[in-house]
Amino acid sequence: MSIGVEALFTSALGLQPPWVVEDVKLDTAQRHIDFEISCRGAALTCPVCGATAQPVHDRLRRSWRHLDFFQFEAWLHCDVPRIACGACGKTTQMPVPWARAGSGFTAAFEALALALCRELPVRQAAALLRCKDKQLWRRIEHYVEQARALEDFSGVQIIGIDETSLRRGQNYISVVHDLDAKRLLFATEGRDHQTVVDFAADLRAHGADPAEVRHVCMDMSAAYAKGVALALPEAQISYDRFHVVSMAIEAMDQVRRTEMAEDAAAVRQMLGGGERKTLRQLLWGMRRNPAGWSKGQLQAMHWLQRSTLKSARAWRLKMALREVYARARAHNNAEQAGADLRAWLSWARRCRLEPFKKLAATLKERFDAVVRGMTDHRSNAFVEAMNGLLQQAKRAARGFRTSANFIAIAYLRMSKLKHLPAHPFVSAPAK
Ligand SMILES: [Zn+2]
């Protein structure tokens, strides 16, 4: 038994009457395959009011890009009827079953494009699909907005608030994660207290009660603290390891920079030649964990530890703070963690290094919230993982890095949105 090629493609495209494939044309030179689809019948159902047997007013020529057919670029073409309805009095174009209104791509092509944009930089996905980046960005925004509108945030209790910037020190974006569900809930421009207030409004718009948020993990920005006080009345704040250790690394860098600038001659004398290379290795060796030291960094760090430099003391303080966190993680005992932190603070206060004295004062002022963050493994690991994903999202938007694009791609990749189109080639896993 054989069926005609038109009937075969009518079925492969999933078309039902009145839609049928009338003609298929293969252009091997252009590597194109064109499907001519027609909507049969002189009288059709009105798409607005549902009145049957309404007359076709006219037909408008339209085309859609579809999934490739082998090595051929596939296009659907159709003279789409407009119905002049006697019942409701409106003249309306028939919606086509293979594409959403207004799109020049079929739904299957859009679904594939979205799937690729979750894995690849958008520019690369566009090159693979042989379309324009701009066409993909428009669709990412459309589908993300549609999917987010359907999301339910009720039950969100533990969140992380963080900032990221699109360019070094510019274009700040605040992001809010659900630390239980491990997903991005909200992203917006800016890093003032209003971002937290806007997040609370967004929570409410998605069926959640901001008063149910019990725990916020964040950095020590006063703006976020103000926002939390205003908009998340029941939330307790904790400061996670990532941010606290970053502050210690910043203090250490400050000590090193000042020392290398002010006592350059003394440092050079201690080093005795080859100083430029060693200083660079020192910079990275001091920031890195000893397990990751290169051979050169190892030598530089051995030299540092035998020296009497302030930088050596700063490095020991930083390492000791890491150790306080490692112990808290191993023992999971808030009391012990508090005692360890208190011992570190007293050392830092007496160390005669201005940046560490300042850091100690900051941590002391927020002592309880810091200790809460020490035994909170959930948020500590997660904040770092999310930072990695945010970096990937930035790379995905390379060349088109506007706040709107970055936020859209971050939602697409990090929000676990449940209402995105399914991947055309992968069926959903059985539940
Ligand atoms: Zn009608």
For residue 92, the CA-to-ligand 1 centroid distance in Å is 8
Does 253 lie in the same domain as 232?
A: no
Does 358 lie in the same domain as 245?
A: yes
For residue 110, the CA-to-ligand 1 centroid distance in Å is 30
pLDDT (0 to 100) of residue 1: 45
For residue 87, the CA-to-ligand 1 centroid distance in Å is 5
For residue 94, the CA-to-ligand 1 centroid distance in Å is 11
pLDDT (0 to 100) of residue 378: 65
Rounded to whole angstroms, the Cα distance separating 195 from 411 reads 17
Does 60 lie in the same domain as 40?
A: yes
For residue 63, the CA-to-ligand 1 centroid distance in Å is 25
Residue 43 lies in a domain: yes
DSSP state of 168: T
For residue 90, the CA-to-ligand 1 centroid distance in Å is 6
For residue 59, the CA-to-ligand 1 centroid distance in Å is 17
Does 270 lie in the same domain as 360?
A: yes
Ion ligand 1: residues, CB within 5 A, are 46, 48-49, 51, 85, 87-88
For residue 20, the CA-to-ligand 1 centroid distance in Å is 24
CA 418 to chain centre: 16
Tracing tokens 């290094």 back to the chain, one arrives at: 353
Residue 186 — φ and ψ, nearest 5°?
Answer: -155, 140
Residue 87 — φ and ψ, nearest 5°?
Answer: -80, -50
Residue 61 lies in a domain: yes
Residue 250 lies in a domain: yes
Are 267 and 260 in contact by the 8 Å Cβ rule? The answer is yes
For residue 287, the CA-to-ligand 1 centroid distance in Å is 70
For residue 116, the CA-to-ligand 1 centroid distance in Å is 39
For residue 45, the CA-to-ligand 1 centroid distance in Å is 8
For residue 21, the CA-to-ligand 1 centroid distance in Å is 26
Residue 139 lies in a domain: no
Are 159 and 216 in contact by the 8 Å Cβ rule? The answer is yes
For residue 57, the CA-to-ligand 1 centroid distance in Å is 13
Residue 115 lies in a domain: no
Does 163 lie in the same domain as 93?
A: no
The domain spanning residue 169 has which CATH number?
Answer: 3.30.420.10
Are 365 and 239 in contact by the 8 Å Cβ rule? The answer is no
For residue 93, the CA-to-ligand 1 centroid distance in Å is 11
Specify the pairing of strand 215-218 against strand 158-167. Answer: parallel
Total domain count for the chain?
3
Residue 217 lies in a domain: yes
For residue 58, the CA-to-ligand 1 centroid distance in Å is 15
Does 390 lie in the same domain as 370?
A: no
Domain boundary among 104, 130, 147: 104
Does 94 lie in the same domain as 35?
A: yes
Does 282 lie in the same domain as 169?
A: no
Does 260 lie in the same domain as 196?
A: no
For residue 37, the CA-to-ligand 1 centroid distance in Å is 24
N-to-C CA span, the chain: 38
Mean pLDDT per 10-residue segment, the chain (431 residues): 79 92 94 95 92 95 96 96 95 95 95 95 96 96 97 95 88 93 95 97 97 93 95 94 92 93 78 70 90 91 89 96 93 92 96 96 94 79 82 90 94 96 73 44
CB atoms closer than 10 angstroms to residue 154: 10
Rounded to whole angstroms, the Cα distance separating 250 from 314 reads 10
For residue 40, the CA-to-ligand 1 centroid distance in Å is 19
Residue 424 lies in a domain: no
List 37's β-bridge partners, or say none: 21, 78
pTM of the entire predicted model: 0.85
Residue 233 lies in a domain: yes
Does 252 lie in the same domain as 363?
A: yes
| Burial degree of 333 (CB within 10 A; 0-12, 13-18, 19+) | middle
Does 358 lie in the same domain as 304?
A: yes
Rounded to whole angstroms, the Cα distance separating 260 from 215 reads 42
Q: Which residue range forms the structural domain that includes residue 322?
A: 241-374
Q: Which two tokens stand for residue 136?
A: 């993909």
For residue 100, the CA-to-ligand 1 centroid distance in Å is 20
pLDDT (0 to 100) of residue 431: 44
For residue 16, the CA-to-ligand 1 centroid distance in Å is 21
Does 302 lie in the same domain as 291?
A: yes
